[in-house]
Structure 1
Amino acid sequence: MTGSEPPAYSSAARPSAARPALPVLMYHSISSAARGPLRSLAVGPTRFAEQLAALADAGYRMVGLSEALDLLDDAAIDRNRPAPSMVALTFDDGYADFLTRALPLLDAADARATLYPSVGHLGQYADWLGQWADEFGPLLDWTQLDEVAGSGRVEIGSHGLLHHPLDVLPPQRAVDEIIVARDRLEQRFGTPVRSFCYPHGYHDWRVRAAVRRAGHDNACEVGRRRYRPGDRRLAVPRLLPTGDHDGAALLDLVRTGGPRMVPQAKRLAQPAWRLTRRVARRAGRQLT
């Protein structure tokens, strides 16, 4: 691996003032059973339906992440074909409630999305959540993931093999987990896996380079802001809707990107926090 940073854009499109900000929403579980520190990661079905309806009524097209980026690229190439007003929907981890709750609501709203299953945990529970591992129920198994992929509404991305913070793993182990996860998905579904989601949102230039070399052309983090021209294609930031966001609040989040101070402070703190996590990992602890 070289020390060069992967390019932010595909060769088909370059940064342009004409490219609008893209809101990318990050969901996890579509359920109402959320307690303690995981409360912000669950949106109940009724609230989720309300959020989708608000986006549709406001004229937003709801698509998966790779599709949204392609539409932005097309608009950058052809100035006579502006990008539609759109929101990208993403779902992390691959909880079974995506099939039973999220997918029917996406279908009813004529919405599409990108799902990032954690390949090595399929059919199990989210053990990286520790004492909260069963909070959202089981993860999809392969048969259920087949059904999701067969819906025609969902792009299957990769969330890595195991839900490890890749930036503090030994470099070759991180590379192996990225490659194995993508290979298993592609062998199962017979289509390229373009999009990657960093477990816990953590990455550095080495991880981004490994993701790109494995064949992904886009990847997402947390970020808590909208994707803008000039942002890295392999570190697409996302916004976090919660169960506290009614339709009006969600539209405000999508249109403004939410508060700016906290995301900026988190970015500035990343190098020191990564060092802390590496030291903790050597001591047998994982900090997320």
Structure 2
Amino acid sequence: MANTIQPFDPRGSLQTNFPIILERNGPISQTIPILLYHSVSDQFDQRYGRWCVTPRRFEEQMSALAEGGFHAISISDLAQKLAVGLPVPDRCVAVTFDDGLKDFQSGALPVLTKFGFAATLYVVAGSVGKTSGWLAALGEDRRPMLQPEDMLELLDAGIEIGAHSMTHPELDILDRKAACEEIRTSRIVLEDALSAPVQSFAYPFGYASTTTRALVRKAGFRSAVVVRHALSSPDEDLFGLSRLIVTEQLSGSDLLELIHGKGAKPPAIQHKIKTDIWRLVRRVRRLHRDGFSAGSRSESKDLGRMV
């Protein structure tokens, strides 16, 4: 395969846009900071504070990146390079947003446009044009979501649209059929709305397992992102790319320190052990919440199996 690839086009053909390569073809020499945001707004419930950055702070953070000589690329552009073993340019960063909230358009897009930064926006497909019902526990269940026409405008502005499931469940504790439906349908729904490829996926809550990663591959995605609050490692699975959580508390200089490795570590085995234990706890909670229905009793037989 030639080591020349075309940049990812958010409005490209549904048939051909990204070579179907699911494993890397060679070593990559450096780590890549992939930033994770959710909301950019001045109005938010305090319980949601960790996931919301004010427009003023967001502009400060993006300004620091620009002044530091960084440029931003989409996740699919990054994944293309990683897939074929091409080096990622120095001072490269990926900016991502989860959920598909309406305030991306008003709070984040003007800043990204000002600095010429690309970004990838992961949308909860079943909530397009509605509100963020899954955020009820954080007092933000009425936060408006993007409309279909908003997403089309974002594509025209060069923003990549990715999928974030249909209803924002904890995919790794769903049964295989339900998880497959959440993943597969989200891509179909978004591609139908956009008439454009949807090639990257973000796991809701950052929860991924061997099974969910395999389902995302099978659904036709080319990459997927988790959380981990870590720099993306050169040897990471393209369906488990790590991201750094960016908060309101981070000044521009703090962000530069973070992406240079201060306070962020590459994924380690200790993280996997903690993840497996927490997944087991969440499964047990789900079984109790569902009252051990017939389906839940069957699922309980597999509680000791880490996937």
> Normalising TM by the smaller chain, what interval?
0.7 to 0.9
**Separation (CA, whole Å) in 1 of partners of 2:82 and 2:24:** 10
Equivalent residue in structure 2 for 1:23, among 25, 33, 36: 33
Q: Distance in 2 between matches of 1:232 and 1:91?
A: 20
**1:133–1:147: structure 2 CA closer, same or farther, 3 Å change rule?**
farther
Q: 2:42 aligns with which of 32, 35, 45?
A: 32
Identity across the alignment (%): 33
User: C-alpha root-mean-square deviation of aligned residues, in Å?
Assistant: 2.2
1:13 matches 2:19: no
* Residue 49 (1) aligns with residue 55 (2): no
Given the alignment, which residue of 92, 109, 128 partners 1:103? 109
Q: Report the alpha carbon displacement of residue 198 of structure 1 after superposing the two structures with TM.
A: 0.2
SS at match of 2:97: strand
Question: How far off its partner does 1:134 sit?
Answer: 2.8
In the TM superposition, residue 100 of structure 1 has moved relative to its aligned partner by 1.1
DSSP 3-state at the match of 2:40: coil
Number of positions where the alignment pairs a residue of Structure 1 with one of Structure 2: 270
In the alignment, is the contact (CA less than 8 A) between 2:24 and 2:83 conserved in 1? yes
Q: Provide closer, same or farther for how the CA distance between residues 85 and 260 of structure 1 changes in structure 2, counting only shifts above 3 A.
A: closer
Contact 1:31/1:136 (8 A) holds in 2:
no
Give SS of 1:248's match. helix
Structure 1 runs (4+) greater than 6 angstroms displaced: 261-264
**Deviation string, structure 1 residues 241-269 (Cα, Å, up to 9, x no partner):** 11111110000011115244998755321
Q: Is the 8 A contact 2:151 2:194 kept in 1?
A: no
Question: 1:72–1:173: structure 2 CA closer, same or farther, 3 Å change rule?
Answer: closer
* Distance in 2 of aligned mates of 1:250 and 1:32: 20
Determine if contact 1:224/1:257 at 8 Å carries over to the other structure.
Answer: no
Q: 1:67 aligns with which of 74, 77, 84?
A: 77
CA deviation map 1:78-133 (0-9, x unaligned): xxx76242000000001100011111111011001000010111122222122434
CA distance in 1 between partners of 2:56 and 2:269 (Å): 32
Matched residue, 1:137 = 143
TM-score when scaled to structure 1?
A: 0.87
- Deviations along 1:116-159, whole A, 9 cap, x unmatched? 010111122222122434378211122222222222x2100000
Which residue matches 1:165? 170
Runs of 5+ in structure 1 lacking a partner?
1-8
Q: Distance between the aligned counterparts of 2:167 and 2:231, measured in 1? A: 27
Q: CA deviation at 1:191?
A: 2.3
Gaps of 5+ in 2: 1-20, 291-307
Does the residue aligned with 2:134 lie in a helix, a strand or coil?
helix
**Residue 191 of structure 1 pairs with residue 203 of structure 2:** no
2:164 & 2:265 partners in 1: Cα distance? 27
For the 8 Å contact 2:230–2:267, the answer to whether it is kept is: no
Give per-residue Cα distances to partners, 1:34-69, cap 9 Å, x unaligned. Answer: 443321111111111111111011111112111123
Give, as a single letter, the amino acid of the residue that structure 2 aligns with 1:38. Y
Q: Which residue number corresponds to residue 297 of structure 2? A: none
* Partners of 1:216 and 1:82 in 2: CA distance: 21
Q: Is the 8 A contact 2:125 2:166 kept in 1?
A: yes
Matched, 1:228 2:238: no
> What is the CA–CA distance in structure 2 between the aligned matches of 1:147 and 1:239, rounded to whole Å?
27
What is the deviation of 1:280?
1.1
**2:284 counterpart residue number:** 279
Pairwise CA distance, 1:170: 1.3
Distance in 2 (CA, whole Å) between partners of 1:13 and 1:257 is 29
Relative distance call for 1:35 and 1:141 in structure 2 (3 A) is same
TM-score (norm: length of structure 2)? 0.82
**Alignment partners' CA distance in 2, 1:72 and 1:274:** 29
Show the counterpart of 2:98: 92
